[in-house]
Structure 1
Amino acid sequence: MTQAAKTGSDHLKALQDGRWISINGEVVSNHIEHPAFRAAVKTAADLYDFSSASPNLEKMTFRSPTSGRAVSRAWQLPTTYQELVERRQALEQIACNTSGWVGRTPDHVASTLSAMVMGIDLFERHGVKRASALQEYFTWARDNDIWAGYAIVPPQTDRQPPARQGDFINASVCDEDSEGITIKGARQLATGLPMAQELLLGAVQPLKPGDERASFTAMVPVNAKGVKLMSRKSYEQLAGSTFDYPLSSRFDENDTVVYCDEVKIPWDRVFVHNDIQMARAQWFDIPVMAYQNYPAQIRLSVKLRFLLGLAYRMAQENGLLALPPVMETLGQMAAEVNVVQGMITAMETNGVQYGKYFIPNSSIQYSAMVYSQSLYPAFIARMRELAGGSMLSLPSSVADFTSSATAEYVERTHGTAKRSAVDRVKLFNLGWDAIGSEFASRHAQYEIFYSGPAFGNRIRNYSAYDWGQATTLVDNFLSSYDGPAGPVLGA
């Protein structure tokens, strides 16, 4: 009998795994009920419930070729343009369910693993056993429709000498035997791990000779012995009410630093081992970097549409829509939203065959990453200009609406002839949480750096672009007329 699609209840059970996660000086015993994480965890469960509901099943899932189970289209390996579009429509719906505010939904690392499998020949050259481990893990992960996160960057303190001789700063192999490797040290920045079951540990930054111990890629359960998750401040926990912080209170996926305290990883979960060239090649010599950031652009397009709609509503509420400068600003923002959406369409229509698979155009994907890194802060700045002081004069909290001492005055000062104080404040609270709160500030930083530093993306875009199509135009034009020794045109 074919197993039913994964539900939110299934995911919650999987997250009750006894993992080690700390926040505010304590180790949390049951993070799915903790006020720092529970709303985000519920958001994760809701995504599975949506996908497994009968009306959404065909759009959101496909049948695993190994188990026959309905699993997320995030695990689908498209072989045609149509399959790529079907997959994108499912990922776009995932983004719509959070209005684009959860960056590391389960499709992100699923896309990473999918692209690795597309490039399985690279892993086979690295070693048949490592390729077999990758293929078997991918099959297991797909058939169980897991949610995975990753930590693939060394801690910034790795740039400094170790505090003590023999300290492991960047996570590295400290021991290995016939059963597997043992990892000690840290990796960052693991976004969304409170919502995830599995963790990919790898090295995306270049390694140099002598760094072989850090040149591994492996999957580990988040609750594995020795895995320590150290959470940043929880904006969810500080949000108070959904009315006051409608985004922070539900979509704070959280970021953690991962410390591996002698974590044993069996060989059947190790994909790269002791090879600094392979540690780099897995990201850039096969379409992993482009394919995993393609869903990120899909999510960003949804988020920008949401922000554009919010900017329009705030300007409308303030009676500004008829002003030419406001129309100009909103027109510019609408153009930018369309550019991001258009680049996604262009990635697909200009997609290429990669072996038997059909993948988005990598050059356009890298261009989209370069464009979006500078777009987001400018987009937010325009929203701030449109909002003006509207978000600075809000009541202190939802309690002001229920207190006998303040309720009447809140209505008098915030209500209008067309809109109640509750509805008006609700709108501008959303505006503040989107562009002014700590949650919003974290998102601004995230959108600029989640795909790496801008200079790196520009260099990758330089490498991916087909310069021949540009220089050929110039060369053909230069060859259309003679130099000083030749005849003068028009003579």
Structure 2
Amino acid sequence: MNKAFGSGAAAVAGVKNGAEHVAAVRDGRAVYLDGKKVDDVSTHPAYRHAVASAGALYDYQADPANIERMTFDIGGGRRVNRAWQLPTSYAELVERRKALVEWAELSGGFLGRSPDHVASSMSGMMMGIEVFDNYDPKRAQAFRDWYDYARKSDLFLTYVINNVQGDRSKAFGDQGKNAQDMVARIVDEDASGITIRGAKLFATSAIMANEIFVGSGQPLRPGEEHLAFSCALPMGTKGLKMLSRKSFEAHAPNEYDNPLAYRYDENDALVFFDDVKVPWERVFLLGNTDMCRAQLHDTPAHVYQNYQAQIRLSVKLRFLVGLARGIAKTIGTINFPPVMETLGKLASQAALIEGMVLGMEAGGAMRGDYFLPNKHLLYAAQVQSQEMYPQIISAIRELAGGALLMLPSSVDDFSNPEIADIIGLTQISPAMSGQDRVKLLKLTWDAVGSEFASRHLQYEMFYAGAQFVTRGHSYRTYDWERAAGMAEKMTAKYDLPEFGAE
């Protein structure tokens, strides 16, 4: 195994490791790429390194040197990742965050839907289980039992909570002929469970996950009760089909030329449920459009999943800022005043998100038995990061300039002595060798300019919803009464002067 994909340390019994995870994805799951069914995602050239990178996360937590920081004891001789921890205090929330930071650092934050993301969401649902109890005690118990199983197994979960776009000017029922299969819906219900048919988006990391949570994060209208359900399924479930987008890993033949796409192309997929039977013990809500919203927003699920995303993003921004400084050193502009100004702004942007994560924690509060990060600071961070990420990418491209374009075609150029000599003459740097300069700039291109990088730009701008969505969350959660009250108190201090006749 590549040194980047695993620690090589002996695993500890009772803690999930990489070998266990890689073995688990060999379950006959139906993944389709380029018109063909993929036999084994763990060995296929389009996915094998991403699967190995996921395995490396579990190897890291199972390393005896990391186990106390990365996992916690749930009893029965079992330890699981801290993403499953339900913090009951500020200190526990911080302890949990530190573990999530370490996982994100292994990929530079480029695994957007690492296993801690949906685990955080489901843990948030569990913290608000009374919402399910008030809806239907049987469905609440089904969620409790499944969550307990998922946590004990330390599952890598993904989710699909978006519907296919279609014609956004029309309701689901007005989409036209054969539109009934466009969006996953309930087509049957009997004593053993429900049957669902249709599609859902966006199954990021589904090709290497253990199970998938299916729900709806978008508002549903009256009359769309057949679209209102949530459940969980193993990825190898009969009738569950994943239509993979283009694999960037498949087009990254070596690590030197595309180090990020080679390792961390987590993939995105459309999931089609071809008359998939879901047993009742895996059905968490059914036919209630308001509960579809409530399971995410009336529980801490939405807060915890996006809190994890901001933790990961803070790591990614730190990586990108470090890359920016490396570029400036490499091309000899580090002491130019305009470059220092740009680096200073980049550093402030990275620090802003990191500081807001710390603020979410410091400004958090108890909700029943559990400690939650501050909701408004979370949504404020999302608004800021959606705007900042494209700015940061643009600034790095500007710092690098044409250096990103004039690079050797591939690492194989170094195998030709004549060409290697020319590379050595033209790829000069005051800070490193020509080979190391090329290495750094190819990493930079994969982070800001490649097809892989373009996908990440789109992901960071829209994974939490369009900007009007995140700004709406910010609007709804801000303490407007306090702000307006300050203005009212100020105006109450003075009145219109009296204009008496002289």
Name the TM tier (shorter chain): over 0.9
Aligned to 1:7: 17
Answer yes or no: is 1:285 the counterpart of 2:298: yes
Aligned to 1:25: 35
Distance 1:71 1:485, change over 3 A: same
Give 1:63's match in structure 2, choosing from 55, 70, 73.
73
CA contact under 8 A between 1:282 and 1:288: conserved in structure 2? yes
**In structure 2, C-alpha distance between the alignment counterparts of 1:178 and 1:483, rounded to whole Å:** 74
Give 1:263's match in structure 2, choosing from 270, 276, 284.
276
Aligned to 2:350: 337
Answer yes or no: is 1:250 the counterpart of 2:275: no
**In structure 1, C-alpha distance between the alignment counterparts of 2:167 and 2:486, rounded to whole Å:** 47
Cα drift, residue 367 of structure 1: 0.5
Cα drift, residue 289 of structure 1: 1.3
CA contact under 8 A between 1:61 and 1:71: conserved in structure 2? yes
**In structure 1, C-alpha distance between the alignment counterparts of 2:194 and 2:430, rounded to whole Å:** 68
Alignment of 1:249-328 (within 5 A): 249-328=262-341
**In structure 1, C-alpha distance between the alignment counterparts of 2:105 and 2:429, rounded to whole Å:** 31
Give 1:354's match in structure 2, choosing from 367, 376, 394.
367
**In structure 2, C-alpha distance between the alignment counterparts of 1:56 and 1:286, rounded to whole Å:** 31
Cα drift, residue 164 of structure 1: 3.3
SS in 2 for 1:189: coil
CA contact under 8 A between 2:330 and 2:431: conserved in structure 1? no
SS in 1 for 2:98: helix
Answer yes or no: is 1:382 the counterpart of 2:391: no
Cα drift, residue 339 of structure 1: 0.6
For 2:332, give the aligned amino acid.
G
Alignment of 1:52-131 (within 5 A): 52-65=62-75, 67-131=76-140
CA contact under 8 A between 1:158 and 1:169: conserved in structure 2? no
CA contact under 8 A between 1:415 and 1:422: conserved in structure 2? no
Aligned to 2:4: none
CA contact under 8 A between 2:330 and 2:429: conserved in structure 1? no
**In structure 2, C-alpha distance between the alignment counterparts of 1:266 and 1:53, rounded to whole Å:** 37
**In structure 2, C-alpha distance between the alignment counterparts of 1:165 and 1:8, rounded to whole Å:** 43
SS in 1 for 2:254: coil
Answer yes or no: is 1:467 the counterpart of 2:456: no
| % identity of equivalent residues | 46
User: Alpha-carbon deviations, 1:222-277, whole Å to 9, x = none?
Assistant: 11000000000100110121100111100000000000000001111111110001
Cα drift, residue 481 of structure 1: 2.0
For 1:252, give the aligned amino acid.
D
Cα drift, residue 433 of structure 1: 0.5
Alignment RMSD, CA only?
1.5
Cα drift, residue 415 of structure 1: 3.6
For 1:57, give the aligned amino acid.
I
**In structure 2, C-alpha distance between the alignment counterparts of 1:12 and 1:139, rounded to whole Å:** 22
CA contact under 8 A between 1:162 and 1:168: conserved in structure 2? no
Distance 1:6 1:158, change over 3 A: farther
SS in 2 for 1:254: coil
SS in 2 for 1:247: helix
Give 2:465's match in structure 1, choosing from 447, 452, 457.
452
**In structure 2, C-alpha distance between the alignment counterparts of 1:338 and 1:249, rounded to whole Å:** 29
**In structure 2, C-alpha distance between the alignment counterparts of 1:261 and 1:123, rounded to whole Å:** 28
Aligned to 1:37: 47
**In structure 2, C-alpha distance between the alignment counterparts of 1:15 and 1:113, rounded to whole Å:** 21
**In structure 2, C-alpha distance between the alignment counterparts of 1:37 and 1:301, rounded to whole Å:** 26
Aligned residues: 485
SS in 1 for 2:42: helix
Question: TM-score, normalization: structure 1?
Answer: 0.96
Structure 1: gaps (5+ residues): none
For 1:290, give the aligned amino acid.
V
Cα drift, residue 484 of structure 1: 3.3
CA contact under 8 A between 2:331 and 2:429: conserved in structure 1? no
**In structure 1, C-alpha distance between the alignment counterparts of 2:272 and 2:499, rounded to whole Å:** 71
Answer yes or no: is 1:152 the counterpart of 2:161: yes
After TM superposition, the runs of 4+ consecutive aligned structure 1 residues lying more than 3 A away are 158-167, 415-418, 483-487
CA contact under 8 A between 2:14 and 2:77: conserved in structure 1? no
For 1:108, give the aligned amino acid.
H
**In structure 1, C-alpha distance between the alignment counterparts of 2:338 and 2:263, rounded to whole Å:** 34
CA contact under 8 A between 1:158 and 1:170: conserved in structure 2? no
Aligned to 1:231: 244
Aligned to 1:366: 379
Distance 1:278 1:416, change over 3 A: closer
**In structure 1, C-alpha distance between the alignment counterparts of 2:444 and 2:37, rounded to whole Å:** 34
